[in-house]
Structure 1
């Protein structure tokens, strides 16, 4: 065995013995992370709210009394995907930071992600592409269709929501490098939050003024603050979790986060409402050019980051306060959240085809019914698949066993 920088090279037959030795030398107790499963549940519900309300934003007249309500849920709910990114980074650093970083460990890491993330991504990219091909497009040849499919899949654009998986793959590619950097630099570890913000905004400013990349929302650099905050939480989780019980910590850290989130909800939803009803353009001449250039990015990014932290904390409160049945319900939603994320747009397309216009009462009622149905049916499809199809991971990735209501 020999060491090069932070990587440890060992023979394959010695790997198990080495990991046992590491555990003995560094006996860190790992928590069950029920809170993270709850946070995933909250995040996927936010995603479903956004997608369910999207048709109302386009169909309802801005003068309608219900338009501000649709706008609020559609904009305030845009915290789900960034929260998933933050939670993914958290889980990776929480699980891998205390362990010896070996080539074999990284190999297993990539094989697992390739199997449980990339394969379902390709399956659903093909599914959504074929559906839209059948309904909307007519490619001259099979070769043209395949070329278009390859292009869209490579960019995470076979269907709009798949950009999240595309970004996640970028995170997995970057993860070993980030892990080494965080292990090597105590300065980076302790200042990860501010460094992540600076790096993300450096990219935003450079892209705005020099690069001009339109699809920046599908590039991992646009989410560096979420990566770094997740890394910070994962590395220092045991300490942070203990501090959450401290009154001073709540007053100095948690309360300002909640206040900041409340302010950003008002700013972000208000800004988007003014844009959508056509009023913001009349305000632009009275605002500084810098504000006009970055207000959209600032309100979205700041709102989403604070929302992720709020959900992270609320999940810890919910883990203590929820009844056993309520907790198991949300734990089940969290456990199937990736599958729900992949399948729900397909159901949403179907329900919108059934009823997408008509009397206001029926239309608005149908939006609520649609939200409930896509949530329940998405979960049912995912769980049915995991229970009765042996190779379910090819469709929905790796899933946990269904939660059971155990007696206390």
Structure 2
């Protein structure tokens, strides 16, 4: 079967997702540093919490691209072999490189390990859990999902029921894991375990397998109105719930509020607010990307397409520059401090993008060792409809 055309909409959605990641990480110091009674604290809280949609959206998009590209193909040993070779080359090797880099930097600046042997053991432990730096858990989760992908694809091809109902099966499996972990397993590093993201993975799989069918249905105005109203209304309600819940927790009020709530609500409210908010945020960005693909001007679209094309590299490198920027200005007057937070977001975003593209240009055929697979820098012509693939594509 001929290779399917990559979709501009996916690159746009990746761009929106990486911007959300940068907003969350840039606002994290403000949330922890400024007083909770400050007028700007609710703003920082909103940006920091509402923006926690980037990583789940990347998982949803990654799953979508995998099933969109691979599901129509005939599954065989060679296809699976090529799939794993590409993931090893473009995902695991950059993950190893950045795990080493962040571990060595933090070792130099923050830690004093007693011996080289101890440091190596510590690194291997952190590398195995995606913990060499906090943001690397996303790559660690992605590797777990890649390992399971051929198994799920074969299951979906063989059993129509699993395929047609995959979206709610994924949600059910994720919440089964949440319940079992809370009641029996008590694993504290659940954020590094792929089961915690099955709803995003399976919804992405469903969209990938039925994408052409869904697009046809969306041409019906009544069906489109129902779906979009449901997605955006639910997302709006969940944004209010999640940001409000975290605001009450951070200002120390939720403990008093929780006394009036049922036990089951207190046990699962935080998990429910995050998981459902992130899922509908991912769906909203998926829809928004389709709207943007039709409505953005050429220059605007070209800019976001470039951000999406380099999003994996930006994701890997940006914490390094964030660490540097935060060391430069750690306090000061409200105008200076808050202005620096905004400047940090802009500077880190631009520098990260520039380093990714400069590395590609400088190393040429070997840049993938650091940043995985990147499309070439597009030549922006008005007639051209840019088609790009990134490290998450097949």
TM over 0.5: yes
Which residue does 2:218 correspond to in 1?
Answer: 244
| Equivalent residue runs for 1:7-406 within 5 Å | 23=1, 30-390=4-364, 391-406=366-381
Larger Rg: 1
**Distance in structure 2 (CA, Å) of the matches to 1:216 and 1:246:** 41
The CA RMSD measured in Å over matched residues stands at: 0.9
Tell me the TM-score normalised to structure 2 length: 0.96
1:12-58 superposed Cα distances (whole Å, 9 cap, x missing partner) = xxxxxxxxxxx2xxx7x834310000000000000000000000001
| TM norm structure 1 | 0.93
Q: Which ranges of structure 2 fall in alignment gaps of 5 or more residues?
A: 384-394
Cα distance in 1 for partners of 2:5, 2:162 equals 24
Q: Distance in 1 between matches of 2:48 and 2:217?
A: 34
SS at match of 1:64: coil
Name the count of aligned residue pairs: 382
> What is the rounded CA distance, in whole Å, between the counterparts of 1:407 and 1:293 in structure 2?
54
Q: Which residue of 1 is the match for residue 391 of structure 2? A: none
**What is the alpha-carbon distance in structure 2 between the residues aligned to residue 249 and residue 403 of structure 1?**
36
Is 1:407–2:382 an aligned residue pair?
A: yes
By relative contact order (CA 8 Å, sep 6+), the higher-ranking structure is 2
Take 2:220 and 2:359, find their aligned partners in 1: how far apart are those partners? 44
Cα distance per residue 1:127-173 (max 9 Å; x no partner)? 00000000111111100000000000000000000000000000000
8 Å contact 1:328–1:404 — kept in the other structure? no
